[in-house]
Chain A
Amino acid sequence: MPMAADDFDFVRGSGLIDELHSRGKVIGEEIVDAALLGEHAADAHYVLEHPRLPFVSYPYEWSFSALKAAALLHLDIQQAALKKGVTMTDATAYNIQFIGPRPVFIDSLSFRRYQEGEYWAGHRQFCEQFINPLLLRSFNGIPHNAWYRGELEGISAENLSRLLPWRSRLSWNVLTNVFMQARLQNNSGSDDAIRKAKTRKLPRIGFEQILHGLRKWITRLEPGHDGKTVWQDYATDNSYADDEAVNKRRFIAEFSSAVKPALILDIGCNTGDYSIAALENGAELAVGFDFDHGALEYGYRRAVSDGLNFQPLHLDAANPSPNQGWMQAERMGFRERANADAVMGLALIHHLAIAKNLPLAGVIEWLVDMAPHGVLEFVPKNDAMVQRLLQMREDLFSDYDQANFEEQLNSRARIVKSEVVSASGRVLYWFDRH
């Protein structure tokens, strides 16, 4: 029997996967007939089927709290595994996906039989892919996203140790997991050090203590330089009360109850107000995208605390996640993944067309391509927000007007309904793509 199949049988026999699945921590799996895959499965001992994930996202798109939730999930699983004599072969953040705000572990082959005395194979990877990106935000106030997207494997202890403020050394956990690990890694390249390291053993109690200590520490980590007061500002800034917000919510509610999208994308979601309006009226899952890290953080916390099926992700619409990794096919770009039942682009297009100098026709095409149904908002030039965008610059946007907006939308879709939602003349368009 191949080693992987042997481990697979041992792990399933331990009851670990059933237990974790029943608690929603790992994705469901079912052994199916190998013939389903034909010659692709000629040598396979088992063929597994998993439920399809509604949307695939990557750690460089997650907010701080989402990455933290994924880190805690990984530790929970490793702790539960150890109790059953199982360990994990790696600790990559890409093995975790989100369903709404809830992280779920997706790699069935990451589990194998634990051998007494063995080390935590994934420790360094766990540091690079979870802890170090969290520390960058927590101590330096820098969101992990851009660095993580560039360096797909996360942030090394060596690099982070050069950046963290001196006071971070006062934390025993930072001192050991970052500074000491970086130093040991640098000093340990000799054959002798490698030989010695290979012959050491880690007692199980030590392994358990390391996991427990990390769990306790990570639970306490918070994003730096934008403490809790900022989240409260987001909550109060986004008043539900004004007429414009009420009109928009009503429009989205009507759209959502007619289309009933299994997945709706909310491009420029801010803290998720309109995703919530869609979810309350027939949408099953809303995946939101925004540029503002504070808004994403608030949106994620809100989704967790209110039990909303909403996942906010980081996106710079002018520079979305590309195809990357091995053969540029390992991690899919935003465009490849942005196929949904519905899309919303509210208070968004003027930012792209005016602040980012993108052609209006291109912006509309980009949004309409994402889904067969959607709602887009046109914000006229006399609106205070557009005036603010134009305040410090020349108005080069002679084609930015309602007539051109409608013409561009009409060439790609049928306008089902439109409604003026503000005194300044903002208009919502409900469209069905041609």
Chain B
Amino acid sequence: MLGAQTVRVFLVVLGCTVLAAPSHAYLDPGTGSIILQSILAGIAVAMGILRFYWYRLKAFFSGTTLESEAADSKDSEIQNDI
């Protein structure tokens, strides 16, 4: 079970902005759901950034271009399994 500390760390990873979001909600989404979504999104974005740099690093050492590398891994790059 992830504790409150871990949650805070994830939120820092997200670096969430503090701007008022539109609130014409038809449904009460639930505070738990919103916090969870920000955590999941934070992780997804962080993974995306890590992947991006991983491919750049691989491209640098293998001498291939970033584009061909990215094309090869089109699926796995975007389809982060969270």
Contact = CB atoms under 8 A, between A and B. Distances in A.
A119 B23 CA distance: 10
A187 interface: yes
A354 interface: no
B31 A199 contact: no
Contacts of B7: 184
Nearest to B30: A124
A348 to B, nearest CB: 41
A179 interface: yes
Interface stretch (A188-196, A257-265, A267-275): A188-196
Contact of B34 (A127, A157, A197): A197
A213 B44 contact: yes
A355 interface: no
Contact of B26 (A121, A185, A209, A212): A121
B79 A201 contact: no
A172 B39 CA distance: 13
Q: What secondary structure prevails in chain A residues at the interface with B?
A: helix
B63 interface: no
Nearest to B4: A187
B62 interface: no
B55 to A, nearest CB: 17
A422 B81 CA distance: 55
A121 B25 contact: yes
A205 B38 CA distance: 11
Interface in A163-222: 169, 172-173, 175-177, 179-189, 193-194, 197-203, 205-207, 209-210, 212-213, 216-217
A200 B20 CA distance: 7
**Size class of the A contact interface (CB-based, 8 Å):** 35 or more
Interface residues of B, number: 38
Given A3-B24, A176-B40, A117 B19 contact: yes
A403 to B, nearest CB: 58
A206 B14 CA distance: 10
A176 B21 contact: no
Given A117-B19, A182-B32, A213-B44, A206 B26 contact: no
Contacts of B30: 123-124, 181, 185
Contact of B41 (A169, A182, A188, A207): A207
Given A124-B30, A207-B41, A199 B81 contact: no
Contacts of A193: 31, 35
Contacts of A372: none
A156 to B, nearest CB: 10
Given A89-B27, A180-B36, A188-B32, A216 B42 contact: no
B57 interface: no
A115 interface: yes
B82 A210 contact: yes
Nearest to A205: B45
B32 A203 contact: no
Contact of B21 (A118, A125, A186): A118
B39 to A, nearest CB: 7
A352 to B, nearest CB: 41
A213 B40 contact: yes
A197 B30 CA distance: 9
Contact of A176 (B29, B36, B80): B36
Given A89-B27, A184-B32, A206 B79 contact: no
A57 B21 CA distance: 37
A120 interface: yes
A124 B33 CA distance: 6
B73 interface: no
B21 A184 contact: no
B44 A188 contact: no
Given A185-B30, A188-B31, A194-B31, A199 B36 contact: no
B34 to A, nearest CB: 4
Contacts of A212: 78-80, 82
A18 interface: no
Contacts of A209: 40-41, 44-45, 48, 80, 82
Given A117-B17, A177-B36, 13 more contacts: A119-B21, A176-B40, A179-B1, A180-B36, A184-B31, A188-B31, A198-B20, A202-B41, A205-B48, A206-B42, A209-B40, A213-B82, A216-B79
9 contacts: A123-B33, A157-B32, A169-B1, A179-B1, A180-B36, A199-B19, A199-B20, A201-B19, A210-B82
